[in-house]
Amino acid sequence: MSWSDPIADMLTRIRNATRTGKPTVDVKASKVCQGIADVLQREGYLMGYDRIDDGKQGFLRIALKYDPDGVPVITEIKRISKPGCRRYSSVDDLPVVLGGMGITVVSTSKGIISDRSCRENKVGGEVLCTVY
């Protein structure tokens, strides 16, 4: 379990769960992780998530999405900005994933949103991860 980087811990748990075909995965709850889960759900990469209180920090139970053949919708999920090397990008320099087939999750002054929303709102920020 990662104490210094909860985002990387969340992404690794999702990556490992999709590779083994698990229907759900539990990650420690935080506002950032909940924001990322919300973006992934809105963009169609997750079935949904629930916040479960355990008397401490709580956790998010994320329902992963698979196609009818059992192939995971998330092919690759990759952390871009890390605690040791933050990556910031203006709206003009946001990375385009697979020619627009994937998404980039960005932390902005308007919250955690996808790269499409960043372009609509003309706002840049810290590039958290890419998903396709």
pLDDT in 10s for each residue of the chain, 132 residues: 556 899 999 999 999 999 999 999 999 999 999 999 999 999 999 999 999 999 999 999 999 999 999 999 999 999 999 999 999 999 999 999 999 999 999 999 999 999 999 999 999 999 999 999
CATH number at residue 107: 3.30.1490.10
Domain span including residue 66: 6-131
How much is the pLDDT for 4? 87
Does a structural domain hold residue 85?
yes
Does a structural domain hold residue 11?
yes
Domains identified in the chain, total number: 1
Does a structural domain hold residue 28?
yes
Does a structural domain hold residue 1?
no
C-beta contacts of 79-86 below 8 A and 24+ residues apart:
79/7, 79/8, 79/11, 79/128, 79/129, 80/104, 80/127, 80/128, 80/129, 80/130, 81/126, 81/127, 81/128, 82/5, 82/8, 83/4, 83/5, 86/126
How much is the pLDDT for 112? 98
